[in-house]
Amino acid sequence: MKKTFPENFLWGGATAANQYEGGYKEGGRGLATSDFITNGSAERPRKITIQLKDGTKKMVNRRPTGNPKVDTIPEGASGYIDENIYYPSHNAVDFYHHYEEDIALFGEMGFKCFRLSLSWSRIFPKGGIDGEEPNEEGLKFYEDVFKECKKYNIEPLVTLYHFETPAYLAEHFNGWGGRETIDCFLRMCKEVFTRYKDLVKYWITINEINVLNGYAFMGTREADSEVRYQAKHHMFVASALANKLCHEINPDAKIGCMVALSCIYPKDCKPENVFGALDYRRGALIYSDVMMRGYYPSYADRLFEEMGATIKKQPGDDEIIKANPSDFLSFSYYRSSVYHTEIVQNTDTGGQMGDANPFVEKTEWGWAIDPIGLRYTLSELYDRYQKPLFIVENGMGTIDKQDKNGYVEDDYRIQYFRDHIAEMKKAVTLDGVDLMGYTPWGCIDLVSAGTGEMKKRYGFIYVDLDDEGNGTLKRTKKKSFDWFKKVIATNGEDLSL
């Protein structure tokens, strides 16, 4: 039995370009679907601003409603930017101009690893269409970022696709709905695997593949099951081919998949609820099953039939997926929820949602706080795959109040992490889970993906910016900063306040 975390355990933090980087018009970057998403709140859903072929401008829901009539973006429409609207991803919290300062703070906390995503349209403004040259300024930006990480012995963990599609690919190929996007993605992968061969060892292909749907997340005009699951099949093929490329270019690199796997419990021991919970969970596990095992699981056909989707495969697709499984499974874990037969099935950032669990507390945004659920999930996944796992998102979004010196006493956050790390440790030491690392989400405050708000804060570092984009962007350490620094310094031994 292991006594503690492995020596080389990758403690760190996680971010994504569309919520953190900013600089949307700088350095030759092309537009991405995330650039057209307005801000919102828990009550006011985010919208996408589009322009129809005839020039009419309108707003559509960012999160599909399930009604194809409302959700479908007409052919020929494209995203447009309304100068009078605030789009949080445009400047986000401006990592683009603050990367040296931010990475120095991560270094001070003792990070071993920093998760960030590439803005695809910064590397290839049109997404890497046939004959397109990569954007040197974009490539250089990430090279500088990775070199900065090396100064502090921080391993970059790089997500290749996180919630943004180059707008050009959305317009011309229906995003991931079109097979052409697979080739474009692979051109981008080849470019970055080669260019950063000596700087990046850890890669993730597609963030939270299970929650993706519609224009905002996949660049598709439609959000119905047919297009959604066809696009996912394209992503499976693209992911497998990216794994292959990565290993060919750098045999020492590790490349993983990423699924939102916040856990689901049955409401009670009523057999329909117990089996129902297992089957509902398959809606998320199907993704890791395909990418970790290399084939569609036995329940897949029935699941697709129930959802009204038929997957069109090309000859050779199954063989590609089979030959190139992921090296590790990375996942987000935020909360648990409860399944029963009357549940309204839906997904959100962070994964499947069910009903509230009366036995656990909730955050201000209604996400259940359930540390034991993390041990449960780690055990569930390791029992299933017997391959390394990586927790690449975990944390609580809260309203943080600064005192007159700008300091935030976020004891609630420390408590959340303390309890989750304690359970994670049990999974490693008592259950024998092979866990590569732990990168809490939004280690520095950034824009919420779900609501577009800034006030839903996750970080160890406070960033002065409000929900309308006002603020100095000043970075200030919160109380949890020093606490997490101590946790890392003791390799998870000292969790005391």
Just list the catalytic residues.
208, 393
Q: What is the three-class DSSP state of 435?
A: strand
Stretch that binds ligand BG6, among 131-139, 215-223, 444-452, 469-477 (CB under 6 A): 444-452
- How many residues touch ligand BG6 under the rule CB under 6 A: the total is 16
How far, CA to CA in Å, does 300 sit from each of 176, 289, 424?
20, 10, 31
Q: How far is the CB of 277 from ligand BG6 (least distance, A)?
A: 21
> 164, 393, 400, 423: which one contacts ligand BG6 (CB under 6 A)?
393
Round to whole Å and give the CA distance between 175 and 399: 35
> 448, 459, 475, 480: which one contacts ligand BG6 (CB under 6 A)?
448
Q: What is the three-class DSSP state of 175?
A: helix
Kindly state whether residue 214 participates in binding ligand BG6, applying the rule CB under 6 A: no
Q: Return the ∠ at Cα 55 (arms to 49 and 59), rounded to 5°.
A: 20
Rounded to a whole number of angstroms, the CA Rg of the chain reads 21
Round to whole Å and give the CA distance between 127 and 80: 18
Nearer to ligand BG6, 135 or 349 (CB): 349
Q: How far is the CB of 241 from ligand BG6 (least distance, A)?
A: 23
Residue 361: count of CB within 10 angstroms of its CB: 10
> 138, 214, 450, 459: which one contacts ligand BG6 (CB under 6 A)?
450
Kindly state whether residue 397 participates in binding ligand BG6, applying the rule CB under 6 A: yes
Residue 72 backbone phi and psi in degrees, to 5? -75, 130
> 188, 396, 449, 463: which one contacts ligand BG6 (CB under 6 A)?
449
Nearer to ligand BG6, 210 or 250 (CB): 210
Stretch that binds ligand BG6, among 40-48, 408-416, 418-426, 449-457 (CB under 6 A): 449-457
Residue 394 backbone phi and psi in degrees, to 5? -165, 150
What lies within 8 Å, CB to CB, of 249 at 6+ separation is 190, 193, 194, 197
Q: Which of 430, 426, 443, 348 is nearest to 392 (CA)?
A: 443
Q: How many residues does the chain have?
A: 497
Nearer to ligand BG6, 92 or 182 (CB): 92
Q: How far is the CB of 444 from ligand BG6 (least distance, A)?
A: 13
> 35, 155, 191, 208: which one contacts ligand BG6 (CB under 6 A)?
208
> 46, 456, 457, 478: which one contacts ligand BG6 (CB under 6 A)?
456
443 CA to centre of own chain: 14
Residues 135-194 that bind ligand BG6 (CB under 6 A): 163
> 288, 332, 352, 357: which one contacts ligand BG6 (CB under 6 A)?
332
Nearer to ligand BG6, 50 or 443 (CB): 443
Query: Pairing relation of β-strands 346-348 and 461-463?
Result: unpaired
Residues 422-441 that bind ligand BG6 (CB under 6 A): 441
Q: Evaluate the CA torsion angle 188, 194, 195, 199 in order and state its sign.
A: positive
Query: Pairing relation of β-strands 346-348 and 351-353?
Result: antiparallel
Q: How far is the CB of 314 from ligand BG6 (least distance, A)?
A: 29
What lies within 8 Å, CB to CB, of 105 at 6+ separation is 444, 461, 475, 477, 481
How far, CA to CA in Å, does 260 sit from each of 211, 264, 332, 436?
7, 12, 5, 17
Residues 56-115 that bind ligand BG6 (CB under 6 A): none
> 12, 13, 16, 121: which one contacts ligand BG6 (CB under 6 A)?
16
Q: How far is the CB of 51 from ligand BG6 (least distance, A)?
A: 26
Residues 342-361 that bind ligand BG6 (CB under 6 A): 349-350
> 207, 230, 288, 330: which one contacts ligand BG6 (CB under 6 A)?
207
Q: Which of 92, 21, 15 is nearest to 441 (CA)?
A: 15
Q: How far is the CB of 365 from ligand BG6 (least distance, A)?
A: 7
Nearer to ligand BG6, 134 or 214 (CB): 214
Round to whole Å and give the CA distance between 206 and 235: 8
Give me the residue whose beta carbon is nearest to ligand BG6.
450
Interhelix angle 225-249/300-307, rounded to 10 degrees, is: 140
Residues 241-270 that bind ligand BG6 (CB under 6 A): 260
Residue 273 backbone phi and psi in degrees, to 5? -75, -35
Stretch that binds ligand BG6, among 107-115, 266-274, 406-414, 448-456 (CB under 6 A): 448-456
Kindly state whether residue 382 participates in binding ligand BG6, applying the rule CB under 6 A: no
Q: Are 220 and 175 in contact (CB under 8 A)?
A: yes
Give residues in contact with ligand BG6 (CB under 6 A).
16, 19, 163, 207-208, 260, 332, 349-350, 393, 397, 441, 448-450, 456
